[in-house]
Amino acid sequence: MSIPSNLKYVATHEWVRTEDDGTITIGITQHAQELLGDMVFVEAPAVGRKIKAKEEVAVVESVKAAADVYAPVSGEVIAANSELDSAPEKINSEPYDAWIFKLKPDNAADVAALLDAEAYQAVVDSEAH
């Protein structure tokens, strides 16, 4: 199970990458895409939208389910990945490349407080029945 150690995570299965300029890039994990199945559609948030941590920000739709993607921290949406409009399946094939949206976080400290790879592994393990 791929859980890159250079990323941060949220218990709701989002991964977070901090960029050099302090903004963050968000997608969903390998574990999440496996559970959801073949992706068919992504509803990304509007650029400029101000969001609070844990707020539903995007929706990913697979052949069998539709799942909410949550904001890992409070901030402003600065970009949405338009590639996913025509190729949502990239989330299945390259979950850590196929980012969904980018945020300018209100507080860098919020990002540091997110789960590391080990903590996220524990979350995944606890979900396995």
Interface positions with other proteins (CB under 8 A):
40-41, 43, 46, 61-62, 64-66, 68
Q: Which is nearer to other proteins, 17 or 49 (CB)?
A: 49
Q: Which is nearer to other proteins, 4 or 37 (CB)?
A: 37
Q: Which is nearer to other proteins, 41 or 108 (CB)?
A: 41
CA distance 102 to 47: 9
Whole-number minimum distance, CB 107 to other proteins, in Å?
Answer: 28
CA distance 14 to 67: 12
Whole-number minimum distance, CB 37 to other proteins, in Å?
Answer: 11
Question: Both tokens of residue 44?
Answer: 């990304």
Whole-number minimum distance, CB 25 to other proteins, in Å?
Answer: 25
Sign of CA dihedral 17, 102, 38, 123: positive
CA distance 66 to 41: 9
